[in-house]
């Protein structure tokens, strides 16, 4: 009869808590979470062990950077979990709460905290459900950022493997004969001059469009690699050195990878701006996804322009080439005289692209593909297309070009030394400082005792005159790499002259002059680096 009378029955639903949940269910869920966490930690430990075995210290530091960034994002997620109720209790006026909404129409479910704000005629700053959804976004962002960086640098390294054959070609007799320094050519007859010294090279209005197009077709050619390699070696080493330029670029790029995987404070600021401009009134899908693409194309055009400007600089100084076209590395070719600025731009481009892909994936997962975030089909197509294009363009075009051109600054980077050489030099430095400390202690102990030499004072054992350091002005260092061991050899050119007067002769004077000249050319102040083959 109740149904005939039109009466309705209401059912009440209760949310189950741990008080009403079986203990085996709680233990099972915790076991799965702990097992997955330990498995991930073990895999990261194996990866770190592999990098340490291969002496890839830069990649090991990048892995530590990834761990710290994941820990930071996890800490942010924990803070949101702890404070979600307190955040929901913050009430703001309805006029403010209805401004800058991401969707034109909204429907919300009122919770307890929001009901309290509604009683005051206000709305909650951020609901508890919104805080939980924000935690999903943080997790997706962390995954996409790491995957994007690893994928970009992995594809870029794969493309740059062809440079190994180019580097091997520089040791062939054919290459040495064609680039014999005893042969002279007109600068326009060289392959590098034919490629870059055109009618459009001297006009900026024409040079930039050509460099923009050139980055898509053979962005790094063999002649560019050979010429920039020769200019780098001539600026920092002796002519004809067997320095492995390709391995140096690889080590430098690994160090840059450590910077890119991190998230700087200014990167977070732009991420907040991205969230702010996601409001419906801005129509951000028409312009926001294009910002990383425009910046990436601008960086690629600048890198191509630097190569052309270096060729023009050499052309203005000489019309004759001896052996190989010689370009002169300098910081003034780069924006603001800072080659590192390009690395920060690449960092920003990769993070913003991964952020947009993560935001799109998060909205798709939480609200569906055709949600208010993506009401237009054009929005979906633009965001996906821009994300994929930027990822591939950065990996295959801009990253190899960046890795080569940024080495043409005024100074070389620390990556010029291999990890084996760095370890050897550090061990030598520790031993030298230890010997100096012992010598200083012995000097202090014998200060009050009579000495045969009245001039034997503390100044006699200064750094400049001690056998450990004073001889460095006349010593060279050669590092030989055999399999996985390092031999650091210190060759003293004046071993017998450390403790007796040096004979005054013309031969010795010429020897010192040649030795000082070699030190100046090598730019190592006494370090003679022999690159292992």
Residue 284's contacts (CB-CB under 8 Å, 6 or more residues apart) are: 277, 278
pLDDT, position 114: 64
Both 175 and 298 in one domain: the answer is yes
Say how many domains are in the chain: 2
Task: Based on the fold, state whether residues 205 and 339 are members of the same structural domain.
Answer: yes
**Would 471 be classed as within a structural domain?**
no
Indicate whether 180 and 313 sit together in one domain: yes
pLDDT on residue 474: 39
How do beta strands 122-124 and 91-93 pair? antiparallel
Alpha-carbon distance of 48 to 65, in angstroms, equals 12
Which among 396, 420, 444 is the end of a domain? 420
Q: Is 214 exposed, middle or buried (0-12, 13-18, 19+ CB in 10 A)?
A: buried
For residues 405 and 413, give the distance between their C-alpha atoms in angstroms, rounded to a whole number: 13
- Quick one: which H or E segment has residue 477? strand 475-482
- DSSP letter string over 443-472? HHHTTTS--SSTT--GGGGSTTTSTTTGGG
Residue recorded with tokens 């459900």: 129
Candidates 297, 409, 306, 400; CA nearest to 349 is 297
Q: Which of residues 399, 420, 441 is at a domain's end?
A: 420
Residue 33 lies in a domain: yes
Q: Please tell me whether residues 208 and 330 are part of one structural domain.
A: yes
Distance CA 517, CA 290 (A): 52
pLDDT attached to residue 303 = 93
> Would you say residue 215 lies in a domain?
yes
pTM of the predicted structure, to 2 decimals = 0.72
**End position of a domain, from candidates 39, 54, 69:** 54
Condensed to tens digits (0 to 9), the pLDDT of residues 192-211 reads 888 888 888 888 888 899 89
pLDDT at res. 14: 61
pLDDT, position 304 = 92
Is residue 490 a part of any domain in this protein?
no
The one-character DSSP state at 495 is G
If asked whether residues 263 and 387 sit together in one domain, one would say yes
Q: Cα–Cα distance between 257 and 61 in angstroms, integer?
A: 10
- 8 Å CB contact between 67 and 95: no
Rounded Cα–Cα distance for residues 300 and 156 (Å): 14
Tokens representing residue 247 in the block: 């391995």
Q: Give the C-alpha separation, 387 to 373, whole Å.
A: 17
Same domain, 184 and 50: no
Residues 171 and 45 both lie in one domain:
no
Q: Is residue 317 in a domain?
A: yes
Whole-angstrom CA distances from 308 to 203, 313, 475 are 11, 9, 40
Domain presence at residue 236:
yes
Residue 27 lies in domain: 23-54
Residue 241 covered by a domain: yes
Instruction: Quickly count: other Cβ atoms within 10 Å of residue 292's Cβ.
Output: 25
Segment (H or E) for 321: strand 320-322
Same domain, 234 and 382: yes
Q: What pLDDT is recorded for position 221?
A: 87
User: What pLDDT score was predicted for residue 458?
Assistant: 38
Is the residue at 446 inside a domain? Answer: no
Ranges of the chain whose pLDDT falls below 70: 1-15, 104-114, 444-533
């Amino acid at each position: 009869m109740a149904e005939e009378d039109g009466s309705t029955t209401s059912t009440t639903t209760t949310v189950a808590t741990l008080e009403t949940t079986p203990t085996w269910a709680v233990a099972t869920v915790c076991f799965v979470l702990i097992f997955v966490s330990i498995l991930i930690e073990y895999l990261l430990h194996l990866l770190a062990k592999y990098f340490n075995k291969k002496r890839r210290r830069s990649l090991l530091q990048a892995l530590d950077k990834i761990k710290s960034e994941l820990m930071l994002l996890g800490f942010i997620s924990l803070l949101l979990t702890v404070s979600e109720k307190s955040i929901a209790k913050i009430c703001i006026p309805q006029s403010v709460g209805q401004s800058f909404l991401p969707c034109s129409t909204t429907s919300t479910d009122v919770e307890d905290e929001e009901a309290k704000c509604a009683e005051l005629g206000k709305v909650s700053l951020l609901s508890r459900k919104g805080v939980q959804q924000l935690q999903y976004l943080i997790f997706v962002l962390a995954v996409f950022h790491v995957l994007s960086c690893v994928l970009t640098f992995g594809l870029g390294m794969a493309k740059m493997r062809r440079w190994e054959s180019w580097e091997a070609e520089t040791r062939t007799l054919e290459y040495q004969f064609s680039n014999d320094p005893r042969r002279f050519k007109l600068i326009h007859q060289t392959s590098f001059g034919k490629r870059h010294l055109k009618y459009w090279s001297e006009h900026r209005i024409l040079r930039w469009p050509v460099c923009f197009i050139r980055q898509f077709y053979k962005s790094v050619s063999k002649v560019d690699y050979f010429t920039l390699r020769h200019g780098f070696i001539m600026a920092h080493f002796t002519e004809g050195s067997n320095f492995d330029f390709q391995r140096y670029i690889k080590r430098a790029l690994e160090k840059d990878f450590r910077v890119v995987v991190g998230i700087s404070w200014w990167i977070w600021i732009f991420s907040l701006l991205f969230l702010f401009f996601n409001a419906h009134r801005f129509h951000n899908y028409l312009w926001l996804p294009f910002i990383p693409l425009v910046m990436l194309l601008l960086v690629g055009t600048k890198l191509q322009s630097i190569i052309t400007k270096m060729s023009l600089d050499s052309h203005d100084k000489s019309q004759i080439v001896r052996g190989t076209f010689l370009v002169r590395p300098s910081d003034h070719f780069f924006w603001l005289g800072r080659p590192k600025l390009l690395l920060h731009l690449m960092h920003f481009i990769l993070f913003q692209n991964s952020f947009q892909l993560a935001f799109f994936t998060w909205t798709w997962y939480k609200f569906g593909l055709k949600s208010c975030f993506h009401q237009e089909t054009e929005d979906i197509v633009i965001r996906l297309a821009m994300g994929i294009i930027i990822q591939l363009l950065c990996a295959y075009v801009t990253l190899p070009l960046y890795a080569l051109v940024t080495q043409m600054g005024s100074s070389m980077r620390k990556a010029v030394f291999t990890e084996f050489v760095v370890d050897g030099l550090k061990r030598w430095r520790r031993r030298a400082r230890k010997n100096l400390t012992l010598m200083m202690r012995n000097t202090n102990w014998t200060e009050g005792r009579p000495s045969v030499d009245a001039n034997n004072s503390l100044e006699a054992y200064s750094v400049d005159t001690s056998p450990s350091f004073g001889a460095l002005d006349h010593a060279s260092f050669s590092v030989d790499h055999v399999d996985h061991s390092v031999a650091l050899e210190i060759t003293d050119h004046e071993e017998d002259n450390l403790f007796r007067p040096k004979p005054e002769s013309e031969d010795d004077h010429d020897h010192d002059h040649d030795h000082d000249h070699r030190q100046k050319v090598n730019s190592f102040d006494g370090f003679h680096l022999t690159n292992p083959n």
